Structure 1
Amino acid sequence: MKIAMLAPIAWRTPPRHYGPWELVTSLLTEALVARDVDVTLFATQDSITSAKLDGVVPAPYSEDPAIDAKVWEFRHLAHLFEQAGKFDLIHNQADFPAHAFSGLVDTPIVTTIHGFSSDRILPMYAPFQHRVHYVAISDADRHPDLRYAATIHHGIPIDDFTFNPDGGDGLLFFGRIHPDKGAKEAIVVAQAANRSLDLYGIVQDEGYYEREIVPSVDGDIVRYHGAVGGAARREALGSAQALLHLINFDEPFGLSVIEAMASGTPVIATNRGSMPELIEHGVNGFLVDDIHGALRAIDRLDEIDRAQVRKTVADRFSIERMADAYIDLYRRILGA
């Protein structure tokens, strides 16, 4: 089985710090190679992989201002589809632009939909569903007008996350600094609970950051650290009493949620989107409806067994489980 894995080009694969789509693409690619699947990764030229790397894009457009996103995205797609006949299957991780090429090749295409953002993108999904096999990353993110080949939750390499049996006294926010992700709500809860809060993530909405976050960041009770990767990321995820994930949108998955839980850190999350698929209330965290519910959950954190928190991720969200699910899907599509 020869697979062409199409990565996004916003960030390197794997990303240096932020880049969830690129991270999932990398994790799956490496897990497939470990299972002796012949994978060619189409990604930026600075990407790192044990698969074959093929690419024409010199650098990620979010890191190099010389890279025009639209120009290089279509150059990236053309480079793959010009050689589509070499592969048994194309796995598209880069959203809907690849669908424009789907009727021009005979090679089957799988598209992992990393979050169905709005009905505005439906015209680049619905007309192609007879040709492209769609994968949802949660049942909550399935669109009623689309036909799906499978729901496959993301998986992570559990052993890459060090279990911290004690955590710490403080709280954690880990995500984009954007109204959707609830950084302001996390600050309000931490202040009301008289707990310290460490915030990590890229600033995606500068106005929101300056207006709602900066005035509360005092370097003592509320600390903002920016985006982190590698060992610093793992240390942050495991060193808190709980992750506050008080989202204001229907999140399609939430990698930071399972990464925190893999470290033993329970999650207090708004009961929206995919959160009920990730969080077992009272076992690995708490599902809440509002700030008052989050404060009540903080008072119950001593009920949580951090070893059990990690086990829930090992049982349900391992990289091995994700890779096996995709291989089963590939074989079903190919009749192998």
Structure 2
Amino acid sequence: MVAESTTPSLAADAAPPAEADGGPGAKGPAARGPGSGNTAAYLRYVAGKIAGAIISLFAVLVTSFFLFRLIPSNPVKQMTGGRRMSDAQLETLRHQFGLDQPMWKQFTTYVGDALTGDFGTSFQFHSPVIDKITDALPATLLLSGTSFAIFTALGIWLGTRSAWRNGSRSDRFHTALALTLYSVPSFWLGLLLIIVLAVGLGPIPGLFPTGGLETGGLHGFAYAADVARHMVLPVITLVAVCYAQTLLVMRSSLLDEMGSDYLTTARAKGLRDDLVRRRHAVPNAMLPTFTLVFVNLGNVVAGQILVETVFSWPGLGGLFYQALSVPDLPLVQALFFVFATAVILANTAADLLYPLLDPRVGR
């Protein structure tokens, strides 16, 4: 990777000996990924990872059915909203939603329907579960995608600066701040931001809405600006609690690279310090961070339930909280499967792409 980012003459001199022959520390021309005579090994690696992902998805499907049935509740009575109903009416509801069937029959029906994309009918909304998920998905993707892009870029940038200025006042400040925010519960930080920046303190008025996606009745640019204003507080909350992990991994990886011989050689050749960092150290230090980025991509979708609930955000997280309060078993099961699938697919994508950057993984 390093050799491709500089001139041929410098790459030949700056790279460590192990890099030239694709040895254990390969970072130069030999580190070309699975295309350099390792196609068969890479394909076996890919097949193993995909098979593992399929097994994990099926295990999640099974777990989602049994897990939420451990909750002591009576979904049929919850569906009535407290209205008085006769035993015959309650039995009709139980039959309508298949709750009068034996557990094994409910399970086989659930798995068979889920494999075709049918997760049943919501108890509380009386509409197909897949429709409720489809309606709420864009709001979640908007919030999680925006937050993910910001905290990933921020974590990599600050992690690089902190490592390159290791021990400086800036490094100590950013590391301490990241660790502090990382330990703060997201719902507590969200409530604090609502009190300070939405409700206001004393003579200081609130600057942002307390929750929701939009005010309503707006169109065009005014609508986009209104949505962006509603996103400020939940995005700040997610970024604050998520960027620390990327910062710390990037900082640690870059610190490990800074003592390498090829960086010393590059400096001895007269390259500027920022060029050494940008073209040599950072690309190699990005390998562990690359994996973390994909893991966070799945986690941010599954991990913003509390944030969406605090800010009344109409996404999958808020929908999951509503479904769990009933409990709306078909909706809860489907959302649990969606969240777990996002994490599994993100991890699998990282596993499949990582050998392209580090060929030692797929061998």
**TM above 0.5:** no
Q: Relative contact order (C-alpha < 8 Å, sep 6+): which is higher? A: 2
TM-score by length of structure 1 reads: 0.23
Larger strand proportion of the pair: 1
TM-score by length of structure 2 reads: 0.22
Query: Which entry has the higher C-alpha Rg, 1 or 2?
Result: 2
Larger helix proportion of the pair: 2
